[in-house]
Amino acid sequence: MSSEDNGNTSYYAPINIIANASDEGRQLRDILRKRIGISRRLMVKLKTSDEGLLVNGQKVWPNHQISEGDVISLRMETEVSETILPQPMELDIVFEDEHLLVLNKPAGVIVHPTTGHYLNTLANGVMHYWQERGERIRFRPVHRLDEHTSGLVIIAKHSLAQQQLSAQMMEGTVTKEYRTFVYGRPAELEGEINGPIGRQTEDPHRRVVREDGAPSLTFYKVTDTYLDQASAVDIRLGTGRTHQIRVHMTSIGCPIIGDSYYTDEKWLETELASSLSETITRQALHAARLGFKHPITGEEMVLEAALPEDMKRLERELEKLVHT
């Protein structure tokens, strides 16, 4: 993302809005709230910045009265994640522009550094990538994936993009679709799992379906079956709880292959589990498709990431069940 240095302050490239006839006579703050739903917090940041709010190239205040044809420019000061160490890493970039970066995260990689885990995260690789391009950008993941789940992750490049995408997430207008392979065969080949999810009393890291849990909704469709031993399932999230897909598939008796944490002994002791133990060494879950509105242009975005090699390998092994 391009930026400029004005004195000691660096700014991202401006985001421009052209005032139309319906904006005539309205205050700038009202237009920004109506057009892009700008938050109060971001409005304060822009107001207190030397060049945050410009109209026709001149600094103005949020109560400035707008005329049709005015060029409104939002200029955000650059930020950088000082505590994230840049680290060379191969990145699979699915989409990038000056507002957002969408990556296909490999399994085994954590999105953001945590206590005691400061390197080898997606954030380290992204910070190095931006540093090499001479860009000052703060790492702002809009959502997360489990360490051992592969697939699409959206990273906002500035606070406005993050605000807009986070709002879409909260409103449930972001389409998140996954592909997984599970043990067994669901009783219904297509349906929804509507089961509240909460922490397990004995193990607070583990989630379970429980009456006092947070409302959780998962839509699924079986796309292939391998005798009655396994199934390929496409999943769409209605909510985004921690471990939601893993918990919900286990709750209907079809845990995800490779997910030892949520798979009960009856499956782990089967001949199938034993034969697949070296085929895939993590939960067979991939975030394959994302649909959302571009946070700045409003364009409908649909992005996809192909199955990784370990899940393709698993699929081939499962197909042998049918053809042997």
Mean pLDDT score, 149-176: 94
CATH code, domain with 116 = 3.30.2350.10
Which residues form the domain of 217?
175-323
pLDDT of residue 6 exceeding 70, the answer is: no
Spell out the SS3 assignment of 94-116.
Answer: EEECCCEEEEEECCCCECCCECC
pLDDT band at 1 (very low <50, low <70, confident <90, very high): very low
The active-site residue out of 70, 146, 259, 310 is 146
Domain match, 182 and 319 both: yes
* 80 is a domain residue: no
- Catalytic residue status for 146: yes
For 212-237, the pLDDT digits (tens) are 999 999 999 999 999 989 999 999 99
Q: Nearest Cα to 197, choosing from 262, 278, 116?
A: 262
CA distance 152 to 144: 9
Q: In the chain, how many domains are there? A: 3
Please, which contacts does 217-221 make with residues 24 or more away whose CB atoms are closer than 8 Å? Answer: 217/192, 217/193, 218/192, 218/193, 218/244, 218/245, 218/248, 219/191, 219/192, 220/186, 220/190, 220/191, 220/192, 220/193, 220/249, 221/189, 221/190
139 domain residue, yes or no? yes
Last residue of a domain, one of 74, 102, 118: 74
Among 147, 171, 195, the domain-final residue is: 171
Q: Please enumerate in sequence order all residues whose Cβ is within 8 A of that of 274, keeping only pairs 6 or more positions apart, or say none.
A: none
Q: Are residues 147 and 201 in the same domain?
A: no
Residue 84 domain flag:
no
The two three-digit tokens of residue 215, written as one number? 């409302």
Mean pLDDT on 309-324: 90
Residue 186 within a domain:
yes
306: which DSSP letter? P
Note the pLDDT of residue 129: 97
**pLDDT tens for residues 302-312?**
999 999 999 99
How high is the pLDDT of residue 38?
84
Cα distances (angstroms) measured from residue 229 to each of 148, 250, 319: 23, 15, 11
